[in-house]
Amino acid sequence: MKLNVPMPVKMVLLVLGTTAFYMYLGQIVPQKEVHPPPPVLIDPGMTTEDLIEVGRELVNGRGICMDCHNDVRAPAFDGVGARASSRIEGLSDIEYLAQSLYDPDAFLVPGFAQGMQKMNEPPISFSDEEMKAVVAWLQSQGGTATVTLETDLGY
Amino acid sequence: MSRNKILFGIGVLAFIAVIVTVRLGGFLVDNEYRQPERQVAVEEAAGEAEATPRQQGIADEQAADEAEARARPYVEAEYRTVPFVGSRVTVWVLAQLHLLFAAFVLAVPIFAFIIEFIGYVTGEKRYDRLAYEFTKLLSVSFSMTATFGAFLTFALIILYPKFTNYLMHIFSPTFLPYVLLFFLEALFLYSYYYGWGKFGPKMHLFLGFMLNVVGTAIMFIANAWLTFMMSPGKREDVDGDGVPDFVSAVSESGALLSLRDAFFNFTWMPINIHRIIANVAFGGSIAAAYAAFRYLQAKNDEDKAHFDWMGYVGNFVAIIAFLPLPFAGYYLAAEIYAYSQTLGIQMMGSTFSWLFVIQAALIGNLFLGANYYLWLGMGRIEGTVHFQKFIKWLLIAIAICFAVWATPRYAISSVSEIAAMGGSSHPQLSYLGQMSAKNTAVNILILSTYMSFLLYRRTGRTSIHPHRQLLTRAQAIVFSTAAMLVIFFGVYGYQVDAATRIRFAIPQVYSVLAAMVVITVIDLPLYRNARQAAQTHWGKMPAISQYALIFIALSFTWLMGLMGYVRSGLRGEWHVYGVVLDTSPDAYTPTLGFATQVVSVTVLIFFGLIGVVFWLSSLGGKKAYEPQAAADADGQLEGA
């Protein structure tokens, strides 16, 4: 038996069906709600160990560093603390790491393109103290962290 | 069930609803305590009237409310909320609805003007009628655009007062020109529509031209506001080291430094270009859906033929604009990357990466729908057998490209599946999820769709050009070379580093664009004055072809909603990226599932409203109302 469905009903069914299908696609992909990173408090009495912990939070949170530093778009962080002092002649590991954060295009690791933003500028806007925490964490990746809140990063 | 029965059923339900409401209201009023009227009158006359406990209670409550209001200091609100729905969703839906109607109102005059111009040059009246039919959709849509624009403005002022005030601080000098242009838009639109056939053709074409100029200018101003929110400045090599520096249009505290830089900000022109093309594609699809609606309603062959042709032209406009749209999208994305790599990464490699899998499904459906309609369209032309043999190969190419494009790099898998694959990505299929494969797929999709158009154009026609064989072979060589170049760069992309791989997209795009231009340039003289070997039977399309047109319009609308979301959502927790932080409870990026629900609801509202536009536009073709008695009397007179 042939079902004679009126044209307006067919149109409504087409509109609802197509919309429902696309909405369904939206439900089956991974669901992630992204909240702004919580503020990081840096106490004047923090030690280098404390700074490493704060740096880890910043690198994984507000800095969104891990989105790129995976050896595909930008160099991975594994061992960066060990090789930082030998990257540019005349620059210590702290100076090199600080330069990478304040002026990332000044030196590019061979094989990678420029484009990383200056981390003290919006939208990341790390403060000088937060920069020290990030440098401490980077030093700790294969090296020994020596940065304190009294260290002058030169920027 | 007939329409009369449905209307009767709705009438009965409405009647019952009215009776129930009146009875309920009466019941509530009847049960309210009142003092007997005579007693009140006696007490009032004697000056002894006393308040009842209820009146006293109400008076006390009012006094307490007033005292509380007086004690409360005035605080400037930063945000206000909407119960249940929330402020963000309210503004989101209103902005999207405004944008959809605005896109339609800006797009239709572009191709209506072009079609009218073709009619003027060729002298064929059918083009003039077609352009008028498109223009009929404009007046109601224009009102809808203005209504939602006003609604959106009020919603922003009420719900985001501080942020709206900030935007006014930056852009207030642009508001008066905007309003004046809007006034001119109304003037040109209504004179273009109501002046059809009333002015000379040149004057009327001038009105259409001005309508487009003013409409585009309006969009450019509005685009400055929204692109400023994403890129509040420009990039310029200030220190002379060869690397573009960020030059903000506002100070660190948000104060305006340069209106020029705020207006002509970094992503302004890419958005302008992308929107003009996308609007034409969207407008064409909605106009084709209107034609489909009228085709399915048509009772005679003449109307069927007219609306079949209108649907074909609308779809033609949509797809012709759709072909370069991925390139415009690529340009926009590249400019977003160039402005801020952080934004670019957010878009393609982080929060929104899965959104582009949904986008791939939508675009794949659009290509399939458009090609399906064209292939069905060959059926209205005699002698299509020669070309139909190519269709299965085109279908295979499109299906493969669709599958490649929709393949994600990382699959959604269970723990056991991850263990079996040896990671979150499939060992072989994940290669198809990379940029090289996707760029190749979309370029081949575009070439295949272009080929469908070419076959349709040739159906039923025989070239009489003296060098037809040579030119046809030249076209085949150009097409094959472009396809091979696209595939070559796609495969070679796996052998090079990421930066080089991304740059390979450019020769791929140029190959396809160049092929389409060269083949078209060859095709025009090749089929000029071609012998019409077969008749085209307009109005002989199966009903499913018309539903395909509606499906294409739906997919376009949904795609616009989705891409509107990603463009706006990219900013994350920023009202103005890097300048004004969103501190409202909605300052987070919702899940894709939630976003697609909002997009779906918006699309359904839009289609409900566009249905009203279609219905109102179709009233013009109906017979004028005649009272029954007069009609009967006329009938009797004629009978006598």
Token representation of residue B95: 């902005």
* Contact by Cβ (8 Å): B566, B351: no
Query: What is the pLDDT at residue B637?
Result: 54
Report the pLDDT averaged over residues B595-621: 92
Distance separating the N- and C-terminal Cα atoms of chain B: 38
Name the minimum distance, in Å, from the CA of B242 to any CA of chain A. 11
A124 contact residues in B (CB cutoff 8 A): 342
Measured between alpha carbons, how far is B590 from B587 in angstroms, rounded to an integer? Answer: 9
Shortest Cα distance, chain A CAs vs residue B15, angstroms: 24
Please, which residues 9-28 of chain A have a Cβ atom closer than 8 Å to chain B?
10-11, 14-16, 18-20, 22-23, 25-28
What is the least distance, in Å, from the CA of B483 to any CA of chain A? 28
Read off φ and ψ for residue B459, nearest 5 degrees.
Answer: -60, 130
H or E element that contains B172: helix B161-194
CB atoms within 10 A of CB B135: 23
Among the ranges given (A131-145, B469-483, B487-501), the one the predictor scored with the smallest mean pLDDT: B487-501
Chain position carrying tokens 């090789």: A83
Query: Helix/strand/coil (H, E, C) string of B469-534?
Result: HHHHHHHHHHHHHHHHHHHHHHHHHHHCCHHHHHHCHHHHHHHHHHHHHHHHHHHHHHCCCCEECC
* pLDDT over threshold 80, residue B382: no
What pLDDT does B259 receive?
95
CB within 8 Å: B554 and A18: yes
Contact: B358, A22; criterion CB under 8 Å = yes
CB atoms within 10 A of CB B235: 17
> Which of A10, A12, A15, A126 to mutate to test binding with chain B, by most B CBs within 10 Å of its CB?
A15
Q: Are the CB atoms for B626 and B305 separated by under 8 Å?
A: no
Q: Is the pLDDT of residue B37 over 70?
A: no
**Which residue in B has a C-alpha nearest to residue A124's C-alpha?**
B578
What is the mean predicted confidence (pLDDT) over B616-627? Answer: 79
User: Which residues on chain B are in Cβ contact (under 8 Å) with A31?
Assistant: 591-593
Calculate the alpha carbon distances from B490 to B405, B413, B483, B500 in Å.
13, 27, 11, 12
Cβ contacts (< 8 Å) between B358 and chain A: which residues?
A: 22, 25-26, 29
By Cβ distance, the residue of B578, B591, B603 closest to A33 is B591
Query: Between chains, do A14 and B607 touch, taking CB under 8 Å as contact?
Result: no
Question: What does the block give as tokens for B182?
Answer: 């809007």
Q: Does B316 or B497 have the greater pLDDT score?
A: B316
Sign (positive/negative) of CA torsion B86, B91, B96, B97?
positive
The span from the CA of B161 to the CA of B257, in Å, is: 22
Least confident of A40-49, B421-430, B523-532: B421-430
User: How many angstroms separate the CA atoms of B349 and A115, rounded?
Assistant: 15
- Model pLDDT, residue B245: 74
d(CA B35, CA B631): 59
**Which stretches within B46-137 are classed as H helix?**
53-71, 87-122, 125-135
Higher pLDDT, A81 or B380: A81
Interface test with B, best of A18, A71, A124, A127 (most B CBs within 10 A): A18
Interacting residues of B183 by C-beta distance below 8 A, sequence separation 6+? none
Tokens describing residue B538: 């307009």
Query: What letter does residue B236 receive in the DSSP assignment?
Result: E
Residue of B nearest to A29 (CA): B354
Span A126-146, average pLDDT: 95
DSSP of B270-288: HHHHHHHHHHHHHHHHHHH
Q: Do B550 and A11 touch (CB under 8 A)?
A: yes
Nearest CB among B341, B362, B589 relative to A22 is that of: B362
pLDDT digits 0-9 by tens, B166-217: 999 999 999 999 999 999 999 999 999 999 999 999 999 999 999 999 999 9
- What is the 3-state composition of chain B as percent helix, strand, coil, each rounded to the nearest 5? 75, 5, 20
Give the separation between CA B404 and CA B442, rounded to whole angstroms.
9
Nearest to A123 among B578, B595, B604 (CB): B578
Q: Any idea what the Cα angle at residue B401 is, between residues B395 and B403, rounded to 5°?
A: 100
CATH 3.40.50.450, domain A48-140, yes or no: no
Q: How far is CA B577 from CA A103, B160, B220, B343, B353, in A?
A: 21, 16, 20, 9, 20
pLDDT tens digit sequence for B126-161: 899 999 999 999 989 999 999 999 999 999 999 999
> Largest Cα–Cα distance of chain B, in whole Å?
114
Average pLDDT score over residue span B4-18: 81
For the four alpha carbons of B26, B31, B32 and B35, in that order, the dihedral sign comes to positive
End-to-end CA distance of chain A, in Å?
82
CA distance A123 to A6: 55
CA-CA distance, B230 to B98, in Å (whole number)? Answer: 20
Q: What is the pLDDT of residue B423?
A: 66
Tell me if B358 and A25 make a contact (CB, 8 A cut-off). yes
Confidence of residue B458 (pLDDT cuts 50, 70, 90): confident
Query: Chain B contacts of A6, Cβ < 8 Å?
Result: 1
Q: What is the pLDDT averaged over residues A75-81?
A: 93
- Using one digit for the tens of pLDDT, what is the confidence trace for B362-379? 998 998 999 899 888 888
What is the distance in angstroms between the Cα of B600 and the nearest Cα belonging to chain A?
6
Is B604–A25 a contact, with Cβ atoms under 8 angstroms apart? Answer: no
Are A23 and B246 inside 8 Å of each other by CB?
A: no
Are the beta carbons of B600 and A19 separated by less than 8 Å? yes
Nearest-10 Cα torsion for A45, A47, A53, A57: 40
Residue A35 is classified by DSSP as P
**ipTM for the complex?**
0.84
Mean pLDDT of A28-44: 88
Residues of A in contact with B497 (CB under 8 A): 111
Distance CA A14, CA B561 (A): 18
By three-state DSSP, how is residue B424 classified?
Answer: coil
Q: Which A positions 71-100 lie with beta carbon below 8 A of chain B?
A: 72-73
Amino acid at B269: M
Please name the member of B340, B499, B558 whose beta carbon is closest to the beta carbon of A22.
Answer: B558
Element counts in chain A: helices (H) and strands (E):
5, 0
What number of H helices and E strands is found in chain B? Answer: 23, 6
Residue B180 C-alpha, separation from nearest chain A C-alpha, in angstroms: 36
Task: Using alpha carbons, list the distances in angstroms from residue B459 to B194, B323, B454, B472, B521.
Answer: 38, 21, 9, 15, 18
What rounded mean pLDDT belongs to chain B? 88
Counted across chains A and B, CB pairs separated by less than 8 A come out at: 121
Distance of residue B366 Cα from the nearest chain A Cα, in angstroms: 12
Please state, in angstroms and rounded to a whole number, the distance separating the CA atoms of residues B94 and B195: 32
Phi-psi region of B588 (alpha: psi -120 to 50; beta: other; left: phi over 0): beta
State the best of B266, B336, B354, B584 to mutate against chain A, taking most chain A CBs within 10 Å: B354
Q: In A, which residues are within 8 Å of B587 by CB distance?
A: 36
Asked if the Cβ–Cβ distance from B354 to A29 is below 8 Å, we say: yes
3 state SS of B456: helix
Task: Please report residues of A whose CB lies closer than 8 A to that of B596.
Answer: 22-23, 25-27
| CB contact (8 A) between residue A26 and residue B595 | yes
- Separation between Cα atoms, residue B114 and residue B314, nearest integer Å: 12
Q: Is the pLDDT of residue B323 over 50?
A: yes
Q: Residue B288 has which token pair?
A: 């084709």
Give A111's contacts in chain B (Cβ within 8 Å): 497
Which residues in chain B have Cβ-Cβ distances shorter than 8 Å to A114?
Answer: 243
Give the C-alpha separation, B101 to B116, whole Å: 22
- Beta carbons within 8 Å of A99's beta carbon, 6+ residues apart: A88, A91, A106, A107
Which residues in chain A are contacts of B591 at CB distance < 8 A? 31-33
Using a CB–CB cutoff of 8 Å, tell me whether A41 touches chain B: no
Three-state DSSP at B462 gives strand
Residue A123 C-alpha, separation from nearest chain B C-alpha, in angstroms: 4
Instruction: Please give the Cα distance from B163 to B577 (Å, whole number).
Output: 13
Both tokens assigned to A81: 């603390």
Q: Does residue A1 belong to the interface with chain B, where contact is any CB pair within 8 Å? A: no
Asked if A117 and A74 touch (Cβ cutoff 8 Å), the reply is: no
Rounded-to-integer distance, Cα A134 and Cα A128, Å: 10
| Number of Cβ within a 10 Å radius of residue A152 | 9
Question: Binning pLDDT at 50, 70 and 90, where does residue B384 land?
Answer: low
- Residues whose CB is less than 8 angstroms from the CB of residue B192 and which lie 6 or more positions away in sequence, other chains included: B109, B135, B204, B207, B208, B211
Q: Where does the pLDDT of residue B434 fall: very low under 50, low under 70, confident under 90, or very high at 90 and above?
A: confident
Local structure of residue A117 (DSSP, 8 states): P
Contacts of A27 in chain B (CB under 8 A): 593, 596
Of residues B148 and B340, more confidence is placed in B148
Binary contact (A35, B555; C-beta < 8 A): no
Task: Copy the structure tokens of residue B629.
Answer: 């008695």
Inter-residue contact B605 to B97 (CB < 8 Å) = yes
Q: In this predicted structure, what is the pLDDT of residue B528?
A: 87
> In chain B, whose CA is at the least distance from the CA of A27?
B593
Residue B631 has pLDDT above 60, yes or no: no
**What would the mean pLDDT of B24-52 be, rounded to a whole number?**
68
Q: φ and ψ at B536, to 5 degrees? A: -95, 125
Residue B640: pLDDT band (50, 70, 90) is very low
Stretch among A12-21, A26-35, B531-540 having the lowest mean pLDDT:
B531-540
Torsion of CA B510, B516, B517, B520, to 10 degrees: 170
Rounded to 5°, the CA angle B373-B356-B598 comes to: 85
Determine the Cα–Cα distance for residues B502 and A79; give it in Å rounded to an integer.
28
Residue A12 pLDDT greater than 90, yes or no: yes
Question: Rounded to whole angstroms, how far apart are CA atoms A152 and A128?
Answer: 9
Work out the burial of residue A42: count CB atoms within 10 Å of its CB; fewer than 13 is exposed, 13-18 middle, 19 or more buried. middle
